[in-house]
Structure 1
């Protein structure tokens, strides 16, 4: 989502703040394209947020003479709106 915000900000600067005129490229059009692309990336990133949980637990098999071992489990969840 950070890239989308960056594209939108750069696009807004090119569209509204830069007053340079070049014969090669129209900076206003480039700025509008960047703002649209940034908005699309922000929308796509907000559509489904991912959450990741890491669970670490120590398992000790039956019997006190055996050593314990650590189990690490990663759970990834996605919110769908």
Structure 2
């Protein structure tokens, strides 16, 4: 997420603070592109990665041959950087 913030800040500086004129490249347009890219990286970083895992377990009393209970458990995991 830090890279996204850096891109957004550099883009804002290029768009709003730099008044240099170049005939090759438009600095305000480059700044807007960097701000959009930074915003997308921040959004993607906050979204994180989410996984679901389903665990099915059969419980049997000692000495029994057939299960008496079936337990299904859903585990949701989320990775946050």
Aligned residues: 54
Give the match for residue 20 of structure 2: 20
* Secondary structure of residue in 2 paired with 1:78: strand
Distance 2:6 2:38 in 1: 7
Q: Structure 1 residue 78: deviation in Å?
A: 1.3
Runs of 5+ consecutive residues of structure 2 not aligned to the other structure: 51-76
Give the match for residue 29 of structure 2: 29
Distance 1:2 1:49 in 2: 17
Task: Give TM-score scaled by structure 1 length.
Answer: 0.61
Aligned-pair Cα RMSD in Å: 2.1
Give the greater-gyration-radius structure (CA).
Answer: 2
* Secondary structure of residue in 2 paired with 1:21: coil
Runs of 4+ in 1 over 3 A off after TM superposition: none
